[in-house]
């Protein structure tokens, strides 16, 4: 598995350790590293990297990991990974070897940061680490305990049943512009109720690739495609990752840079760069339709600090759906959290977001930001 590691620019001996996993599914960690929060960025095609002032590693030691095998520069001879749960053992093994090689970080608290499809991979990775830690402490497993303390997931896809309904609601009414009218909303709501929900229930019941892929196709074809088509016909400048007029996404100038033979030779890459690898196998297995709300709930109950946050102009994994997921987390303080209203979050006296927190569960809605919320930030981390 390919990784980049960057020490904190400030107090690396005491700074926390953060691991970053891309979304996708199968999106290289280097997408987030170059476009959003790594120490360097590429500002135009053909340019060399330049220093990013507001890097995540200003105050944290950051480990970027290409997951799954086939993504970024990661490669291997084993069987193709076709599900989120199949990825976790690879991450556990990688971290064991990494801490062995970088022993000075072995006892450091670890945070898992991710986005988008990371609503699947993030909770599952943390959940798997907690399981392995329990086995080791009980004398039933080998390896070293990993001190996983936090999960941050931005604009993330956790639970289709909750978030697909939220997509409908958001498409009809949001702070920027309506994507569909009331008539289409009612038509798609009926499709959701009669076709999508039963399909998701069957996926939950059997867990088979056949049933889960059928559920995935039911909402992709029955709900998403009509919304996308309607929005594209309605607005010339519509993109699903940023629905505000003139919406934009991070430019991917880094791809050309990472595909250069001289760069690959200099960094020791053994395969060509792949921005998204293994995604079709994961999607064809029906993995997208599977819920990871249970894993998310477990890690909250276990005391892991969890931040769910979203740029509010994203349609894909919109703030309405991610908030509903946060409110649905099953833990002793569920009702208290769900009943709590969002409060203003200000930076230099200017409101930039709203948020709420109860103990170790936190939620934030970030204004005027799209799917890759880190890139849209207009203030320092």
Q: Active-site positions?
A: 116, 314, 371
Q: Residues for the chain: how many in total?
A: 381
CB of 269 within 8 A of CB of 289?
Answer: no
Among residues 313, 360, 339, the alpha carbon closest in space to that of 176 is found at 313
CB of 49 within 8 A of CB of 41?
Answer: yes
CB contact set of 242 (below 8 Å; sequence gap of 6+) = 248, 249, 311, 313, 314, 370, 371, 376
Strands in 3-6's sheet, in edge-to-edge order, are 3-6, 61-65, 17-21, 110-116, 148-156, 305-311, 361-366, 350-358, 343-347
Beta-bridged to residue 65, according to DSSP, are 3
Q: Return d(Cα 279, Cα 255) in angstroms, integer.
A: 18
CB of 74 within 8 A of CB of 258?
Answer: no
Given the DSSP bridges, would you call strands 110-116 and 61-65 parallel, antiparallel or unpaired?
A: unpaired
- What φ, ψ does residue 346 adopt, rounded to 5°? -115, 145
DSSP per-residue string spanning 332-356: TTHHHHHHSPPEEEEETTEEEEEEE
Give SS3 for 44: coil
- What φ, ψ does residue 27 adopt, rounded to 5°? -85, 130
Question: How far from 16 is each of 112, 149, 171, 278, 300, CA to CA, in Å?
Answer: 11, 10, 39, 31, 20
């Amino acid at each position: 598995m390919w990784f980049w590691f960057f020490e904190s620019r400030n107090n690396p001996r005491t700074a926390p350790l953060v691991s970053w996993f891309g979304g996708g599914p199968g999106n290289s960690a280097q997408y987030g590293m170059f476009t959003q929060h790594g120490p360097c960025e590429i500002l135009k095609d053909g340019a060399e990297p330049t220093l990013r002032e507001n890097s995540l590693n200003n105050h944290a030691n950051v480990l970027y990991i290409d997951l799954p095998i086939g993504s970024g520069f990661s490669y291997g001879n084993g069987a193709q990974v076709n599900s989120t749960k199949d990825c976790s053992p690879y991450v556990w093994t990688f971290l064991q070897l990494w801490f062995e090689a970088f022993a000075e970080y072995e006892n450091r608290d670890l945070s898992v940061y991710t986005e988008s499809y990371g609503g699947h991979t993030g909770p599952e990775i943390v959940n798997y680490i907690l399981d392995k830690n329990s086995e080791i402490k009980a004398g039933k497993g080998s390896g070293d305990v990993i001190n996983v303390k936090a999960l941050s997931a931005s604009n993330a896809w956790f639970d289709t049943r909750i978030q697909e309904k939220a997509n409908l609601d958001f498409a009809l009414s949001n702070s920027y512009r309506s994507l569909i009218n009331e008539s289409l909303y009612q038509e798609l709501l009926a499709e959701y109720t009669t076709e999508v929900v039963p399909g998701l229930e069957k996926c939950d019941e059997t867990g088979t690739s056949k049933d889960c892929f059928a559920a995935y196709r039911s909402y992709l074809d029955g709900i998403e495609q009509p919304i996308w088509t309607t929005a594209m016909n309605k607005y010339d400048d519509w993109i699903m990752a940023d629905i505000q007029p003139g919406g934009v996404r991070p430019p991917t100038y880094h791809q050309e840079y990472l595909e250069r033979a001289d760069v690959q030779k200099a960094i020791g890459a053994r395969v060509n760069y792949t921005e998204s690898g293994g995604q079709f196998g994961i999607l064809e297995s029906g993995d997208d339709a599977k819920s990871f709300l249970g894993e998310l709930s477990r890690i909250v109950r276990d005391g892991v600090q969890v931040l769910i946050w979203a740029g509010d102009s994203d349609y894909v994994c919109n703030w309405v759906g991610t908030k509903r997921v946060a409110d649905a987390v099953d833990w002793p303080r569920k009702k208290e959290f769900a009943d709590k209203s969002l409060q203003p979050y200000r930076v230099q006296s200017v409101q930039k977001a709203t948020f709420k927190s109860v103990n170790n569960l936190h939620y934030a809605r970030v204004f005027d930001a799209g799917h890759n919320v880190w890139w849209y930030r207009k203030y320092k981390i």
